[in-house]
Chain A
Amino acid sequence: MLYDISMRLVASYDPPANDGRYVVCMAPADLPGRQRAITSLLTVDPRPIERSDRTDFFGNAVVEVAFKSAHAEIAFAIRSRVDRTMPPAGPDISPPLSQLAEDIAVNRSLAPSSPHHFLAASPRVRLAPEFLDYARLNAGLGEGVAPGVTVRAIVEALGAAIHRDMTYDVGATSVDTRPEEAFAARHGVCQDYSHIMIAGLRSIGIPAGYVSGFLRTLPPPGQPRLEGADAMHAWVRAWCGASAGWWEYDPTNAVPAGDSHIVVAYGRDYGDVAPVRGVLRSSGTQDTKDAVDVVPVDA
């Protein structure tokens, strides 16, 4: 499926910031066999005094920009054409959870896609006990469950449970809300859903990471509109063993990631892939707004 994507993110400061340095991670990823970024253009207004491109540890393309003069507002805008071709989901070849630990233990890699980066707590995802309890209860690990249930089935069950128990609520949380708080209130947006699911999966020993991306704005005819299409979206990927590898699931919509999900970046949690990271030296307030459009191109 071919898409034209545009997103504009405006950060405003009151009082104006004296200087600033930001890392921008907004461009769709190039993923051989699954997603091809045909063109991508990032514009920053006002024009930064420094700008450099690099690839981060997880393989995401990021742009670092710096400003040395006072600014009250910065607009980051990305325009991109992407070809997303999600291969059909194959049969579930993931092992039962009891065998996953062995698969992880024999893995001797610290490459970006290694499961070892995604098992422990990360800066924004603590493994609080409530996540373990919730995962146990809702991922088919309770009493009287058939022992052969696979890792992928567990991932799906946990994601569906979060979708069932959480209320999608744009005003309930902010980018800095801790997953524990969102979970306690059972309200939140895609970032909260994803962090909660990651915490649950890691708690029961399944490596899990954060995916940032875009959602198709309007659904194909006859299908429901997906939640989260108005801003940048997030979902989860889980490592389902050496043979099955990574599998992506969107707990906000309780669906596996498919043709309507366009990947921007992979990380351990939101902190690794935030669209704009940066720190202000001034102590004023900071406000960000974003607007997204993801439109299929008629070939």
Chain B
Amino acid sequence: MPATPQLTDPAEPLLENYRPLPGVSDELLDANGQVRPVWRDFIDYFARMGPQEVAERFARGDQYLRDAGVFFRQYGQSGSTERAWPLNHVPVLIHDSEWKTICEGLIQRADLLDAVAADLYGENHLVAQGHLPASLVGMSPEWLRPMVGIKPRSGHYLHFMAFEIGRGPGGQWWVLGDRVQAPSGAGFALENRVATARVFADYYADANIRRLAGFFRSFKESLEGLRSDETSPVGILTPGRLNDTYFEHAYIARYLGFMLLEGEDLTVENGEVMVRTITGLRPVSVLWRRIDAAYADPLELDETSRLGTPGLVQSVRQGNLDVVNALGAGVLETRAFLAFMPRICQALRGEPLKLPNIATWWCGQTPEREYVRANAANMMLSSALSTHMPFDAAGGAVPGSRFRTEAGAAFDHVLDTEGPMLVGQETVTLSTTPAHIDGQLVPRPMSLRVFLARTPNGWEVMPGGYARIGGSKDAGAIAMQRGGSVADMWVVSDKPVPVETMLPSPASPYVRAQLAVLPTRAADNLYWMGRYVERAEGMMRLMRAWHTRLAETEHPQSSLLTHAGTALELMGADPTLPAADVLGGVLASAMTSASQVRDRFSVDGWTALNDLSTRAGETLANVAPGDPMVRALNVLLRKITGFTGLVDDNMYRSTAWRFLSIGRSLERAMAMASQLAWFAEPGAPDGSLDFVVEAGDSAQSHRRLFAVTASRNTVVDILACDALNPRSMLFQLGEIKDHVNFLPGAQAHGHMSGLARAALSLHAGLAVRTPELLDAVDLLQMRSELAALSDLLTATYLR
């Protein structure tokens, strides 16, 4: 860029109203109001943009997030809603040298916590020597008694963790909380990075900003290194699609190439954990769990859990399974532990904490309780066991001052009777960082979540992080649920940084990737997703044909529309019911199936289906019958064919794709059998043949082939017997037969499987027939044989 002489600071207009609060440190400006050196370059670059350009760039980042399907769930009184991802486009910048100090402190703390876990589930020296109160451990619901005495197979309790840190008024970093149970946010940090890098693409490429991919590659390789068998997958154990971080689980599974599993995908046999797959049980020896430990095994842990796998604990006990982090590690998140960490560090490591945690007083001890009583006005009070952030409203924390005034004498009573359940913590004054609001930068409080992964060479820290930014000046407004936002964090070096990718180093030999095994539940969901999507499309075509005729002056009580209306009703597409309800149900089923296999198809495919499902309601609401409805259905049909086009065009020809395709083919063939039996009946009213040809999307082909008006034989020929028409039953039966032959176990020692035999027999049975030999009874017979084929497929692969 050409250097132009500058008399004034170019960033001045941008920072005109940027006024850090007195007594609060600010990331951007130093105590004298000067831009800190690490920000200078970026701020100058940002200041050169006009408002129009800023808006366009931000929109680019938001578009990326929408396309990637990143959203967050807002919980209100009437359930939850999906909201746009609240990215603060301006990242937080930290210099390499300062980052190094943070890393040293966090690595020390990670090692310390691993040692505490080893002691709490082993010798219990910390309790015996008085460094941790026995009663505090004893009352923690996360200290899992069945895990006592079990040493992890890997030798370590912690492999992946996160710390919440914040900067205090003196510029010092503090640890606000330890996250070891199932730390979330690493995937979101990655998405924030991609979005932010798009916003500032020209700057990001050449600035010395540390890249994130290397961290994920190390972690992936470390977990793979823990496997007892190199051909077995690493699993990510998720609570499922109803969890608010499920998106991240699916995202990270795709990014790392791990298998996304739910408790019911697993079973335990002789102490070994097995995945139920379409080819039978396959062992798994490493699970990165994203579910809380208590839910992992209903037999030995929380007996009410419906998310777990009975016998999982026994497998760990027998040394066949590594769970990351170890079951029971969640006890380390106990907030009252923060009060004891400085002493524990001295006791276990003979050195002070390099990075202090916020001062905490556990009210289960008399002197501490009295201290909190006397100083409550300057503290936050919260649950001793809760693991939420001190300023997070969901954690039930209240400012001591408010508690004091509102509760009055009750405050003393609560302290005296419930002391062990309470901690007092010093009130956190977080540093502020620039948020972009209404075209200006304003200071907002910020905390950082930093991620650490254990590798064979020790802990590696993700050189970036997940920054949370308050929605107002109040540090309490930091939670997303209360209007906070999130931001990327850049570690800026003075020197060029290495370019990192997820690809293995060039030195390693080329290995063609093995197709991952397909869990039974995933195959089942893909199959049904295929069926539901096809069912929705078929219903739309039938409804469009009906409304087209209604628009063409047919009276709703005409014999054709009555005949067709009954058929539609039988097929679940009753034209007299609100179309949004009729299609909403089947699309919702498709989405339910799809959302459980999100890791298995492309973001574009997901977006297309999600768009279809969410728009169907709006598009069809309050649309008049006849022509307006035809137009609305046209819009939706274009969308649904957009999705199926993506599947046909882009989806890898894996076994997963075959189950999806079999679902579509089977559904289409069954629907066509019903429709022909109904509309190509000798007694059907005039216009029925045209109706079914149109609903079967074959009007053009029919005209080209026959050049005569439709007769029963021409219609049955093109919709049932024509091997070249993708709308015909024969074509779909051929597809099913071919797919089934590619499924595992279709052939064994020269013999066909029962399923392959049934598929071939159905296909051959139709192939040798001509239209005149195919009446309604035959068609309905074929339909029930197709239903039996579906049952056989389910019995063979899907349970």
Check if A277 sits within 8 Å of B134, measured CB to CB: no
B130 within 8 A of A: yes
Measured between alpha carbons, how far is A108 from B300 in the docked complex, in Å?
Answer: 26
Given known pairs A277-B303, A279-B310, the reply for A108 and B127 (CB within 8 Å) is: yes
Q: Is A61 an interface residue (CB 8 A)?
A: no
Cβ contact within 8 Å between A64 and B314: yes
**A22 contact set on B, CB distance < 8 A:** 299
A119 touches B138 (CB 8 A): yes
Query: Looking across the interface, which residue of chain A has its beta carbon closest to that of B144?
Result: A57
Q: Are A110 and B134 in contact (CB under 8 A)?
A: yes
A53 to B145, CA, bound (A): 18
Closest B residue to A118 by beta carbon equals B138
Chain B 259-297, CB-CB to A under 8 Å as 1, else 0, gives 000001001111000000000000000000000000000
List chain B residues, Cβ under 8 A from A54: 317
A113 within 8 A of B: no
> In the complex, what residues of A have CB within 8 A of residue B314's CB?
52, 64
- Looking across the interface, which residue of chain A has its beta carbon closest to that of B304? A123
Q: Cα distance A291–B640 when bound, in Å? A: 61
A54 to B317, CA, bound (A): 11
CB–CB A104/B146 < 8 A: no
Q: Which residue of B lies closest to A62 (CB)?
A: B300
- Assembled-state Cα–Cα distance A106/B442 (Å): 53
Interface assignment of B81: CB less than 8 Å from any CB of chain A: no
Q: A108-B128, A109-B128 are in contact. Are A123 and B302 (CB under 8 A)?
A: yes
Q: Mark A112-128, 1 if CB is under 8 A from B, else 0.
A: 00101101100100000
Q: How many A-B residue pairs have CB under 8 A?
A: 69
A167-B134 Cα distance, complex, nearest whole Å: 38
Contact call A110/B127, Cβ cutoff below 8 A: yes
In this assembly, does B792 line the interface, its C-beta being within 8 Å of a C-beta of chain A? Answer: no
Does B124 contact A110, Cβ atoms closer than 8 Å? yes
| B311 CB-CB contact with A under 8 Å | yes
Q: Does B148 contact A (CB under 8 A)?
A: yes
Return the chain B residue nearest A116 by Cβ: B138
Are the C-beta atoms of B134 and A279 separated by less than 8 Å?
no
Contact flags (1/0) for B119-140 with A, using CB distance below 8 Å? Answer: 0000010011110001101110
Q: Is B356 an interface residue (CB 8 A)?
A: no
Does A50 have its Cβ within 8 Å of any Cβ on chain B? Answer: yes
Q: Is A56 an interface residue (CB 8 A)?
A: yes
Instruction: Report how far A120 CA is from B138 CA in the complex, Å.
Output: 8
Q: Are A107 and B310 in contact (CB under 8 A)?
A: no
Q: Is A140 an interface residue (CB 8 A)?
A: no
Q: State whether the Cβ of B298 lies closer than 8 Å to any Cβ in chain A.
A: yes
* Beta-carbon contact of B148 and A19 below 8 Å: no
Given A50-B270, A114-B134, also A119-B139 (CB < 8 A)? yes
Q: State the Cβ distance, A29 to closest chain B Cβ, in Å.
A: 17
Chain A residue at smallest Cβ distance from B139: A120
Q: CB of A46 within 8 A of chain B? A: no
Q: How far is the CA of A105 from the CA of B302 in the complex (A)?
A: 28
Q: A57-B148, A110-B124, A278-B299 are known contacts. Are A21 and B310 too (CB-CB below 8 A)?
A: yes
Contact A116 B299 (CB under 8 A): no
- Decide if B270 touches A57 in the complex (CB within 8 Å): no
Cβ-based interface call for A271 (8 A) = yes
A215: interface (CB < 8 Å): no
Q: Are A277 and B135 in contact (CB under 8 A)?
A: no
**Complex alpha-carbon distance, A214 and B139, angstroms:** 29
Question: Are B311 and A281 closer than 8 Å at their CB atoms?
Answer: no
- Which B residues are CB-close (under 8 A) to A105? 135
With most chain A CB atoms within 10 A of its CB, the pick from B129, B268, B314 is: B314
Cβ-defined contact, A277 with B299, below 8 A: yes
Asked if A66 lies at the interface with its beta carbon under 8 angstroms from chain B, I say: yes
Give chain A nearest CB distance to B796 CB in angstroms: 16
Interface 1/0s, chain A 193-223, versus B by CB < 8 A? 0000000000000000000000000000000
Tell me which residues from 52 to 93 in chain B have a Cβ below 8 Å from any Cβ of chain A. none
Residue A232 CB within 8 A of the other chain = no
**Mask of A55-69 contacts with B, CB within 8 angstroms, 1/0:** 011100000101010
Question: Does A23 belong to the interface (CB within 8 Å)?
Answer: yes
Interfacial chain B residues near A108, Cβ < 8 Å: 127-130, 134
Q: Is the CB of B138 within 8 A of A114?
A: yes
Residues of A contacting B130 in the complex (Cβ-Cβ under 8 angstroms): 108
> Complex formed: what's the CA distance from A287 to B134 in Å?
40
Contact flag A23-B299 (CB < 8 Å), given A50-B270, A279-B310:
yes
Interface residues of A in 86-117 (CB under 8 A from B): 104-105, 107-110, 114, 116-117
**B130 CB to nearest chain A CB (Å):** 6
Interface residues of B in 151-184 (CB under 8 A from A): none
Minimum CB–CB distance from A246 to chain B (whole Å) comes to 16
Which residues of the other chain, B, contact A23 by a CB distance below 8 angstroms?
299-300
Task: Check if B134 sits within 8 Å of A21, measured CB to CB.
Answer: no
Q: Report which residue of B138, B267, B298, B314 has the largest number of chain A beta carbons within 10 angstroms of its beta carbon.
A: B138
Q: Bound complex: CA of A64 vs CA of B310, how far in Å?
A: 11
Which residues of A are found within 8 Å of B269, using beta-carbon distances? 50, 66, 68
- The residue from B127, B146, B264 contacting A57, defined by CB atoms under 8 A apart: B146
Residues of A within 8 A of B304 (CB): 123
Which listed residue (B137, B264, B270, B310) contacts A278, Cβ 8 A? B310
A38 to B269, CA, bound (A): 33
Contacts of A56 in B (CB 8 A): 145-146
Chain A 7-26, CB-CB to B under 8 Å as 1, else 0, gives 00000000000010111000
Measured CB to CB, the nearest residue on chain A to B268 is A21
Q: Which residues of the other chain, B, contact A66 by a CB distance below 8 angstroms?
A: 268-269, 311
Give the distance in Å from the alpha carbon of A66 to the alpha carbon of B267 in the complex: 11
B303 lies within 8 A of A281 (CB): no
CB-defined contacts of B298 to chain A, threshold 8 Å: 279
| B135:A116 contact, CB within 8 angstroms | yes
Write out the residue numbers on chain B whose beta carbons fall within 8 Å of the beta carbon of A110: 124, 127, 134, 137-138
What residues of chain B lie closer than 8 Å to A271, measured between beta carbons?
303
**Complex Cα spacing A94 to B469, Å:** 56
Contact assessment for B267 and A19 in the assembled complex, using a CB-CB cutoff below 8 Å: yes
Contacts of B268 in A (CB 8 A): 21, 66
Task: List 27 contacting pairs A-B, 8 Å CB cutoff, sorted by A.
Answer: A21-B268, A21-B311, A23-B299, A50-B270, A52-B314, A57-B145, A57-B148, A64-B299, A64-B311, A64-B314, A66-B268, A105-B135, A108-B130, A108-B134, A109-B124, A109-B128, A110-B124, A110-B127, A114-B134, A116-B135, A116-B138, A119-B135, A119-B138, A119-B139, A271-B303, A277-B299, A279-B303
* Residues on A facing B (Cβ under 8 Å): 19, 21-23, 50, 52, 54, 56-58, 64, 66, 68, 104-105, 107-110, 114, 116-117, 119-120, 123, 271, 277-279, 281
Q: Which 5 A-B pairs have the closest CB atoms?
A: A116-B138, A120-B139, A57-B145, A21-B310, A279-B298
Given contacts A64-B299, A110-B124, 16 further A-B contacts (CB under 8 A): A23-B300, A104-B135, A105-B135, A108-B127, A108-B128, A110-B134, A116-B135, A116-B139, A117-B138, A119-B138, A120-B139, A123-B302, A123-B303, A123-B304, A278-B299, A278-B310
